[in-house]
Amino acid sequence: MLEVSSRRASRRKKSSKRRRIIVATLCAILLLLFPFTNSKIKKYNEENNKLKTEIEKLENEATDLKSKNSKLNQSKTELENKINSLPKSSN
């Protein structure tokens, strides 16, 4: 019976050593990956900022085009009104 318990104890020690090794390797991997992921995050943030500025430019351009469109529509209606107000010639 004493042998069985010593076997269990040695198995527990081995399994706890394995767990420690696994945890240590996972921690090491995470520590090694941290700079890589940090640089990726910086890269994506820079790209995100570029896209935000591009969106702002496009929104400004869209508002400019809308104002030009409304001015053109207004001048169009003014010209149509002038044409309609001209006396009709009868041939």
Q: What is the pLDDT of residue 88?
A: 80
Vertex 39: Cα angle to 38 and 42 (nearest 5):
90
Give me the tens of pLDDT residue by residue for the chain, a chain 91 residues long.
445 577 777 777 778 889 999 999 999 998 888 888 888 999 999 999 999 999 999 999 999 999 999 999 999 999 999 998 988 876 5
Q: What is the pLDDT of residue 46?
A: 98
